[in-house]
Amino acid sequence: MPRNTRNQLRIIAGEWRGRKLPFADVEGLRPTPDRVRETLFNWLSPRMEGARCLDLFAGSGALGLEALSRGAGEVIMLDQHPKVIKQLQANLTLLTCDRAVVQQADVLSFLQQAPDKSFNVVFLDPPYRKNLLAPCCELLSKQAWLAKGARVYLEIESDHPLPVLPDNWELVHSKKAGQVAYHLAIFSK
């Protein structure tokens, strides 16, 4: 484990509560803050046990690892950066977790494929100022990635408006914390 505590995240609750894990030192990588994750997983808690989750732009792995710690049945974590992928795989090995798959992929290209199965929870926290939220939402909805009643977490910089969501999504929660605005939407077919 690196001595640099700047590149560590802490699992908040569940099986690995309090566990600190390193994350890759990659420019622009910013784990979802603890208090934001706490609120998010309070929103999701009734749906987390056994859930099939998709962590797009996984980065530090904070969201996917927290979901696994809280009982998610499966998490697929995607990111484009090789250092991120390597660290996520190392963290899963350290935790002896076999309920996650880490895949190096461009998220937009990945979402253009037809999925094998749909997901109950999707974490959508793209790099800031890249305008990736709207096209990801459209592809998630259009390509049948979402199970009926799926929850979609959306994170965006607080000074940037949330894009218009697909018609079959209902925004149920919205909050701000510092430079982060975060939202939860429900997909209804």
Q: How many domains does the chain have?
A: 1
Residue 3 has pLDDT above 80, yes or no: no
Q: Under a CB-based contact definition with an 8 Å cutoff, are residues 7 and 22 in contact?
A: yes
CATH number, domain containing residue 147? 3.40.50.150
d(CA 26, CA 30) in angstroms, rounded, equals 9
Whether pTM exceeds 0.85: yes
pLDDT, tens digit (0-9, with 9 covering 90-100), for 47-97: 999 999 999 999 999 999 999 999 999 999 999 999 999 999 999 999 999
What domain range is 175 assigned to? 5-187
* pLDDT value, residue 31: 86
* pLDDT value, residue 5: 57
pLDDT, tens digit (0-9, with 9 covering 90-100), for 130-153: 899 999 999 999 989 999 999 999
* pLDDT value, residue 1: 40
Residue with tokens 């607080």, as numbered in its chain: 158
Phi, psi dihedrals of residue 62, rounded to the nearest 5°: -55, -45
What are the residues whose beta carbons fall under 8 Å from the beta carbon of 41, sequence distance 6 or more?
A: 12, 13, 48, 66, 67, 70
